[in-house]
Every structure is written in C-alpha cells, then in structure tokens.
Chain A
Amino acid sequence: MIPLFRRLIGGLRAVFHRERVEQELDEELRGFLQTAADDKVRAGLTESAAMRAARIELGSVEAVKEHVRDVGWESVLEQLWRDVQYASRTLRRSRGFTAVAVISLALAIGFNTTLFTIVSGMGSTPPVDQSDQVVSLTSLDSAGRTVGVSYPDFQDWRHLSQSFEGLAAHSVMAVNLTDRDLAADRVAGAYISATTFSLLREHPILGRDFRPDDDRPGAEPVVIIAASVWKGRYGGDPGIIGRVITANGRRVTVVGVMRDGFRFPLVHDLWLPLAVAPGLERQARDARGLRVFGRLATGVRLAQAWAELDTIMAGLSKTYPTTNANVRPRVEPLTRGFDLRNPWNAALIAVGIVLLIACANVANLLLARAVRRAPEIAIRTSLGATRRRLVQQLVIESLLLAAMAGVAGLGAAALGVRIWLASMPAASWPYWYHFAINTRVLSYLSGISLGSVLFLGVGPAWSLSGSFPEADLSHTGRGRSAGPRARRWSTVLLSAELALTLSLLAGAGLLARTLLAVYRADSIVDTDPVILAGLDLPPQQYATPAQRIALYSQLEERVSTIPSVQATALASGAPFYSAAVWSVILPGQAGATPASQTSSYVLIGPRYFDTLGLRLLRGRVFTDLDGTPGHETVIVNELFASKYLAGTNPLGQRIRLADPTKPDPKPPWLTIVGVSPTVREHYAQEFDPVVYVPYRLNPLANMVLMTRASADAAALAPALREQFRQLDPDLPLLDIQPLNWLLSGTRFANQVFATLFGIAAALGLLLAAVGLYAVVTYDVGQRTREIGIRLALGAHPRQVVWLLGRRVLTPLAWGLTIGLGGAWGVGRLVRGMLIRTSPDDPLTLVSISLVLTVVALIAALRPARRSTRLDPVTALRYE
C-alpha cells in the first residue's frame, strides 16, 4: 500500500511541479555530462574534445529524458494529452481528409444507429413484471402448423396443470359502441380470462379487475375500458364506474378503467370477460382460435411446464381421438410470439455493410495519408519516439475521428428516427413499441464507433511504424510513391468496398423489382373511384345465414340507387390486404390433399368485378342466383387455373374447398364458371391462387362494402350512412375510406425495405466512388513528375489516363467477382420479401454490375483525365 501511495504522490508531483522536476532532471544530466567531461580532461583530453566524447557516451540527452519520464504513470496521461492535441492539430491541418472521413463514418454510423433504434424498439418485450416467467401457449396441429388453442382444451389445461400460477386465454374482436346519446364508434377489443390482468401484474386505475364470477356464462355483463376510451369517448366522466354502455348491441356495466398506454394484447382498448364471447360454450375441441398465455409457478422452468402439458395433451388425444390425435402443445417465451424482426435483421445486415464500406474507405484514406506522412514519422523515430508511442499517436488520431463521427452520427440518427416516426402509421404497432434513442442505443453507437477505430486505425498504424527511419529520411516526401505493401492493402480495401457495394445493390435492385412488380400487377384494378366501408353484424341480431343474406342483398340494392354510384358489391375483404386461405381439393382427388395446395378464399357479391373495373378473362360473373342451393359456383383467378388446372379448360370443372380451421368432412362440389385476372389479395406476400365464392354460400358477419362512385369518400359517406340507417339504425358503417388508401398501406412494407436498401446501396456506391476517386487522385499527386516526363516525351493523354485508370481494374474485377457471391447471399436474405422476383434475377444482377462498373470507372477516370491537362513544365518542377 505504502509504495503505491508513494508512487502516486511522485506522479502527482511530476504533474503539478512539472517544471521543477524537469529542471532537476536537466541539471542532473548536465552535471553528469560535466563530471564525465572533467574526468576525461583529467585523463588528458582538451576541454572541447572531452565534452564531445562525454556527449557521445551519453547519447541523445532527449532520449534519456524520455526514458526517465516513461518510468512514472503520469507520463502516460501526459503523453495522451499531448497526442490528443497533436492529433487534433494534424486533423485540422488536412481539412478535406477530415471532412470526408468524418462525414462518411457519420453517415454510416447514423444509419446504423437509426435502424438499431427501430429494431430494438420492435424487439422490446411487453412491459410485464418478470416477463421471463410469462410464456405463450399454442398447439401444433397434426400437420405441424402452429395454431391457437380451443376453449375445451384450454379448460382442461387450466384444471389439470400444476406448473402455472395461472393460465389466461383471449380472442380479439371489433366492438361497436352504440350508446343512445353518443355517435356510434368502433374500438378494438378483446375477450379475456378474468385472470389476465393479475397474471400480467396490471391493475385498473379506477374501479376493479374482473372477478372469476364475471367470467362465467350468464354472469352480470361487465366491461373494463382503456383510459383512452374513458377520456376520449366518455369525456373522463368521473361516474364512469357503474355506467351502462352498449357494446356490440348488449348493455354492459363499466367496472374498471386501465392505465394509459396499456393495450393488451396488442392495440386493444376494451375488455370483456371470455365467457361472454359468442358461441364459446358450444365451441368444438378442434376450433383452435384462442391465444393463451400463462405465468410459470415459482421455481418451475419452461421445459418442465412444457413436459407437463405434453402429458396432459397425450391424455386428451386418447380421450378425444377425432379432434386431438397428433395435436401437441408448444410453450415459448411470450415475446417469441410477436417477433416481426426477420426482415429487419436483413436490413440490419445491410446497414452493417454500409458501415464496413465506410470503414474500408476511411482506412484507405488513412493508408494514403500514412504513406505521405512517412517522413514525419521517420523524423520522430530518430528523435527518440518509441514504436509504441507512434502507434498510440496514430490510434488516437483514429479515435478522434471516430469520436467526431460518433457525435455527428448521433445527430444523423436522431434525424433518422424522427423521419421514421413521421412516416409510420403509429396505431398499427403493439402498445409496448417505443422508438427512442436510449442508453442501449447509445452504447450501441459507442460500440460501433470504437469498433470502427480498431478496424481502421490499428492496421495502417502498425504497418507504418514498422518502416525504417534511415530509408524514409533519405527520401524527403513528394518523390516517394506508395510502397508495394500499402498499395496491396489499398487494393484489398477497394475490392472489399466494391464487393460489399455490389451486394447492397443486389438487395436494393431485387426489392425495387418487387415493388415494380407489385405496382404493375395492382394497376389492372381501377382503384381510384372505389370507396370502402366496413360492416360488422352483431351475432345476436343476425344469427342465421338467411337473415344476413337478406340484409346484404337489400344493402347492395339500396346503395346502387344512390345517383353517383356506378356499381357496388359486398366482399369478405378488400383486395390487396388479406384473405382467408383454404385448402383446395381438385377434381379426381380423394380426401387428403398436400398441405401446400391452398388458395385465397374471397366471398363476393354479384357486381364485384364491375366495382373494381375488371373484366373476366373467360366465363361469366355471378348473378343473384349463384350461391343459392343448386347453384354452387365459383370464379377462379388466372394463377389458380394455371397452377392447378393447367392444360385443361377450367370452365365447368368442379373443385372443393375446405376451411383448415373448421374441418368439414364433406365440403360441397363447386363449379368453376369464370376466370378472372390475377389480383393480389394479401400484402407483402407472393401472389397466390384465388377462388371467388358468392357470399350467399357462406354469409359471414364481417364484410366490406365496396362502392364505385363518381363522388369522393367524404361526399359519399352521408348517403351511404343514410341508406344503412334505414335498414338498421343500430349498425354503424366503419372506416369509410378510398381503396387507394388501403392500397398504399399494403405496399408500405415493400416500400420501407426497398427504400432502406436503396439508401444503403446509394450510400455504399457513393462511399466506394469517393474511395476510388481519392486513391486515384492520390496516385496522380504522387506521380505528377512521372506524368510530366511522359507527356513531355510525347505520350498521348489517353495512354496516361490508361496508366492511372488501370489501377482501378484489379479491385473492380475482384469486387465484381466476390460481390456477385455476396449478391447471391443477399438474395437469400431478402427472399421472404420478394414478390414475382427471383432472388437470382439475371436482369437485376447484370444491371447492378453495370452500374457499379460505370460508377467505378467515372470515379477513377476523372482525376486521371485531369492529370493529362497538366503543363509538362509545371509537372517537372513540381517538388
């Protein structure tokens, strides 16, 4: 302890009384010299000869001092400070270099940080107390697909399992709020087990939680609402607890209000007990539609709970072989169920590549600079600088660069996150997503900034400080050209940059082609005059298919009498967005079909195709007769015909369709009467076969009214509402909006990823071009005299351009070769996001290779061309 303390004091003394300590050292050394010289005089030398001999014996006084200073710890700090000062001076002196290096690094760092903020925002776990104890439970059906849980299975799990503190199930629905004194409104709601909130460790801010009593058929109907509904719809009514509201046509009593920002399970604002969900008690054991989560009991691990459920399910499949054979449970952490991050990982890789390119670029610039600075280093070495000291100096310079880039990158990231938030439809995110630059993001930013220092600083520094001072001193500066080692490194770096850029271009190209394909395919639908309105029938009032068919046909009839309306039709969903997917059984096929033999299933009214401005390719459209008994007909799209009925005339052929969630042993035969063009029915997904079915065959309670009109949505809405009110005053029309809005929404994901990859590729291309430009410019600077001689001797300018420009060919060749391999990899990475585009699309690969080649040649030849305009005389004197 004592020696350590003494060392500390000594060091502090050296720092604070620096001058005195230095002076003493000086004096001591001078004394040493004098005494040595005196000795030599005594031995018979002259005064001056003695002094000289003593000096030679001592060597460099400065070097000795440096060694002495190195003994204490304080010298490290002092050196560091001096190196920082020195580095900032050098960086300030070469402003162009500093600006290019900092800007390219800052762009890459900012882009990376933005994406990291987004991805970590989406990867965040729901804000649940001890969320690692909360698991989501699903079933794996006999085909190995992950499905939900049926109500009878859930009840059995709940009663038989011991591993859980509790289990809770929920299903979501839209809730129409139709209070007498307020305008009708719709909110997203959920039927939940009474235990849900307590398992999530959430409590109402007003009123009470559900009790087990509430979650029982025939219980007094109660509801819990979100603070946003309480404040927004009911004006923060202080007497909200106990108030009776009308939800989906039923009068229910508000018993609780949940805190702001809590929207379990995703974006839901109103909760009813699970037991009041319509038809729940009669639900079949194989209607697996509930989502279930549970909290593990203290000390129970996930695997144990899973094993226990496995045993329970094995028992159930013996008891109920028709519904439960080969159905197994699945238990995983709650967050896994909401993982949307896969395409984002691809995007993260893309921005990571941008960072690599930026680093390679700056490393290249540093390398060029290092070669130019060799004389300076040589002088410092001969004045007694140690190798460690030199490397330290250079690393500090890189650190300083990275620090500046990090700060600038933080600014860029803040901007990037803001742009992201501005372009996002916020309501569509689960309630716990937050995109903010927090400590995690900041540590990521510091991490990549420091990482880039290691990447770019240490290599050149090491190669540089290994050079010999004698050799470097004798060539003073300009005449020297980069040594073969530096040149090789620079070629390697350029090749890497170009290869990485090509991979990014591949991603951008493929995603852009996907976007183009989607736009082109969508353009066959005349979307401009089409207006959508949602319809959600309360099951109690319209319980039978006949009631619903009657309402729907009256509605279609009434709406078509509005003067501005040209055509109208109901459908189970608007195109482009989403549709049910059913299994297809083709003519001649017995019961079992391959799991992949599926088709989108869209219910439509007779004038559906008129409304969308589409003409059938073959056959006829539906009439009011289609879908009635004896007229079981369907229309398939072209893709369906070519995929499943290739080489035959589809008209008149008979197929069967089966709903995979509700197995029907004997689905009816359906006759194909028409073939429609291929219209996209899903978003961000490959085109699939579609079967259009008359709604009279299967009148669902959730439909969309599509209307083709010469008026816009705002003008049409009152007329629509009026027609609707005359049919049933309690039914609201929901989300009246132009089809175009929905359409652009469905392209959003494609656009986001195409844009992200596009920005990444553009940045990569820019950086690579800057890198090439800088290297050739530097070359020109180094070889000015040579160029002058060549020009003076009569070389053709073109020859000179070639001489300099060919420097770029090796990296370009390597970059293209390796980059095509990278493009292959990126193709695999983005495969899931591609629509109507092959991951090895030859057109894309050829065109991006061309783009890269052209940009590289321009970047390289411009400075080369400029060199030929040199006046030979000036060039020769250039020194």
Chain B
Amino acid sequence: MLILKTLALEPMHGYGIGLRLEQISQGVFRVNAGSLFPAFRRLERDGLIKGEWRATENHRRAKYYALTAQGRATLRRETRQWEVQTAAIARILKMSTSES
C-alpha cells in the first residue's frame, strides 16, 4: 500500500520509491531492496502498477513504475480500510488506557 501511495503522485523508478518511502516516513521505514523488488514484481503481476523504461534525470535508463486505474482503486479502498482499522485500534487503546 505504501508503494502505491508513493506512486500516486507521479511515476517513479525503484530507487526513487525506496528513497521517497524513507523520506515520507521520516526514516521510520527503510525498505531493503530485497523486499522492494519482489513487491514490484508482485504488484505488476497483479496489474496494480505498470513498468516502463525511461531515461532518468541524469540520463540513465531506468524502469519507471506508474499506478494503473486498478491500482488507484485498490489504493483508495485499502486506504479507507486502513483508516477504519486504525481508528478502531485507537479507540480500543484509548479505552484500555482509561481503564488502567
């Protein structure tokens, strides 16, 4: 889901995605390449993102990943679910702290 979110703004290449994740989360998530690339492959297979070879800002060739329409839908759905869940968890936590 996080990868989908980073791609929601613009297409990006692998390193950029990793970097962006780290930046956005202010260093909380440092995603290893060993998890990142299999995730790309999986998302691509599921049709949520689409890879495309393009030149980078410093004139190298890199595979840019972009969100597909289906990916956008999934992102929206999962974000909503996540919000619902976190809200629920937060409520439970608050309740148990107020009890103790």
Co-assembled chains A and B:
yes
Among B1-9, B36-44, B77-85, B87-95, the stretch that binds chain A is B36-44
Interface: A28 (CB within 8 A): yes
Contact present for A35 and B45 (CB under 8 Å): no
Among A63-71, A427-435, A545-553, A622-630, the stretch that binds chain B is A63-71
Contact present for A71 and B14 (CB under 8 Å): no
Q: What is the distance, in angstroms, from B74's C-beta to the closest C-beta of chain A?
A: 11
Contact present for A72 and B33 (CB under 8 Å): no
Closest to A34 in B: B60
| Contact A59/B34 with A3-B47, A6-B47, A68-B41 known, Cβ cut-off 8 Å | yes
Interface: A2 (CB within 8 A): yes
| Contact A28/B14 with A67-B34, A67-B38, A71-B38 known, Cβ cut-off 8 Å | yes
Closest to A27 in B: B61
Contact present for B46 and A3 (CB under 8 Å): yes
| Contact A59/B45 with A28-B63, A31-B13, A67-B38 known, Cβ cut-off 8 Å | no
Interface: A29 (CB within 8 A): yes
Contact present for B37 and A35 (CB under 8 Å): no
Convert B29-61 into 0s and 1s, putting 1 for each residue whose CB lies closer than 8 angstroms to a CB of A: 000111101101110111100000000101011
Contact present for A28 and B62 (CB under 8 Å): yes
Interface centre among A24, A59, A63, A68 (most CB of B within 10 A): A68
The dominant DSSP class at the A interface is helix
Contact present for A2 and B60 (CB under 8 Å): no
Contact of B33 among A24, A32, A39 (CB under 8 A): A32
Point out the residues of chain A lying under 8 angstroms from B61, CB to CB.
Answer: 27, 31
Contact present for B37 and A67 (CB under 8 Å): yes
Docked CA distance A39–B19 (Å):
10
> Which residues of A, 10-36, contact B by the 8 Å Cβ criterion?
10, 24-25, 27-29, 31-32, 34-36
Q: What is the distance, in angstroms, from A300's C-beta to the closest C-beta of chain B?
A: 59
Interface: A57 (CB within 8 A): yes
- In this complex, how many residues of chain B approach chain A with their Cβ under 8 Å: the count is 24
Interface: A7 (CB within 8 A): yes
Point out the residues of chain B lying under 8 angstroms from A68, CB to CB.
Answer: 37-38, 40-41
Point out the residues of chain A lying under 8 angstroms from B62, CB to CB.
Answer: 28, 31, 35
Point out the residues of chain A lying under 8 angstroms from B60, CB to CB.
Answer: 31, 34-35
Q: What is the distance, in angstroms, from B40's C-beta to the closest C-beta of chain A?
A: 8
Q: What is the distance, in angstroms, from B5's C-beta to the closest C-beta of chain A?
A: 20
Contact of A6 among B40, B41, B45, B58 (CB under 8 A): B45
Docked CA distance A71–B39 (Å):
8
- In this complex, how many residues of chain A approach chain B with their Cβ under 8 Å: the count is 27
Contact present for A10 and B33 (CB under 8 Å): no
Docked CA distance A225–B83 (Å):
88
Docked CA distance A642–B2 (Å):
97
Contact present for A28 and B37 (CB under 8 Å): yes
Point out the residues of chain B lying under 8 angstroms from A71, CB to CB.
Answer: 38, 41-42, 45
Convert B14-27 into 0s and 1s, putting 1 for each residue whose CB lies closer than 8 angstroms to a CB of A: 11100100000000
Closest to A2 in B: B47
Contact present for B63 and A31 (CB under 8 Å): yes
Q: What is the distance, in angstroms, from B59's C-beta to the closest C-beta of chain A?
A: 11
Contact present for A35 and B41 (CB under 8 Å): no
Interface: A38 (CB within 8 A): yes
Interface: A284 (CB within 8 A): no
Point out the residues of chain B lying under 8 angstroms from A72, CB to CB.
Answer: 41, 45
> Which residues of A, 50-75, contact B by the 8 Å Cβ criterion?
57-59, 63-64, 67-68, 70-72
Interface centre among B13, B38, B47 (most CB of A within 10 A): B38
Contact present for B38 and A35 (CB under 8 Å): no
Contact present for B15 and A6 (CB under 8 Å): no
Docked CA distance A67–B36 (Å):
10
Point out the residues of chain B lying under 8 angstroms from A6, CB to CB.
Answer: 45-47
Contact present for B34 and A64 (CB under 8 Å): yes
| Contact A7/B45 with A32-B33, A67-B34 known, Cβ cut-off 8 Å | yes
Point out the residues of chain A lying under 8 angstroms from B33, CB to CB.
Answer: 29, 32, 57-59, 64
Contact present for B44 and A10 (CB under 8 Å): yes
Closest to B34 in A: A64
> Which residues of A, 671-693, contact B by the 8 Å Cβ criterion?
none
Contact present for A32 and B15 (CB under 8 Å): yes
Contact present for B37 and A63 (CB under 8 Å): no
Docked CA distance A25–B51 (Å):
12
Convert A845-873 into 0s and 1s, putting 1 for each residue whose CB lies closer than 8 angstroms to a CB of B: 00000000000000000000000000000
Point out the residues of chain B lying under 8 angstroms from A32, CB to CB.
Answer: 13-15, 33
Point out the residues of chain B lying under 8 angstroms from A29, CB to CB.
Answer: 33, 37
Q: What is the distance, in angstroms, from B82's C-beta to the closest C-beta of chain A?
A: 21
Contact present for B37 and A64 (CB under 8 Å): yes
Q: What is the distance, in angstroms, from B72's C-beta to the closest C-beta of chain A?
A: 15
Contact present for A38 and B58 (CB under 8 Å): yes
Q: What is the distance, in angstroms, from B11's C-beta to the closest C-beta of chain A?
A: 14
Contact present for A24 and B15 (CB under 8 Å): no
Point out the residues of chain B lying under 8 angstroms from A67, CB to CB.
Answer: 34-35, 37-38
Closest to A72 in B: B45
Interface centre among A32, A36, A70 (most CB of B within 10 A): A32
Docked CA distance A64–B31 (Å):
13
| Contact A63/B58 with A6-B45, A10-B45, A28-B14 known, Cβ cut-off 8 Å | no
Point out the residues of chain A lying under 8 angstroms from B15, CB to CB.
Answer: 31-32, 35-36, 39
Point out the residues of chain B lying under 8 angstroms from A39, CB to CB.
Answer: 15, 19
Point out the residues of chain B lying under 8 angstroms from A24, CB to CB.
Answer: 63
Point out the residues of chain A lying under 8 angstroms from B41, CB to CB.
Answer: 68, 71-72
Docked CA distance A62–B26 (Å):
29
Docked CA distance A397–B80 (Å):
49
Closest to A5 in B: B47
Q: What is the distance, in angstroms, from B60's C-beta to the closest C-beta of chain A?
A: 6
Docked CA distance A706–B61 (Å):
105
Point out the residues of chain B lying under 8 angstroms from A38, CB to CB.
Answer: 58
Docked CA distance A36–B18 (Å):
10
Contact present for A35 and B46 (CB under 8 Å): no
Docked CA distance A67–B38 (Å):
6
Closest to A35 in B: B15
Residues on B lying within 8 angstroms of A by beta carbon are 13-16, 19, 32-35, 37-38, 40-42, 44-47, 56, 58, 60-63
What would 21 A/B residue contacts be, using CB atoms closer than 8 Å? A6-B46, A10-B45, A24-B63, A28-B14, A28-B37, A31-B62, A32-B13, A32-B14, A35-B16, A36-B15, A38-B58, A59-B32, A67-B34, A67-B35, A67-B37, A68-B38, A70-B38, A71-B41, A71-B42, A71-B45, A72-B41
Q: Please list the 7 inter-chain residue pairs (A to B) with the smallest Cβ-Cβ separation, ordered nearest first.
A: A35-B15, A71-B41, A31-B62, A67-B38, A58-B33, A10-B45, A68-B37
| A-B contacts besides A31-B60, A35-B62, A58-B34, 5 pairs, CB < 8 Å | A31-B13, A31-B14, A35-B16, A57-B33, A71-B38
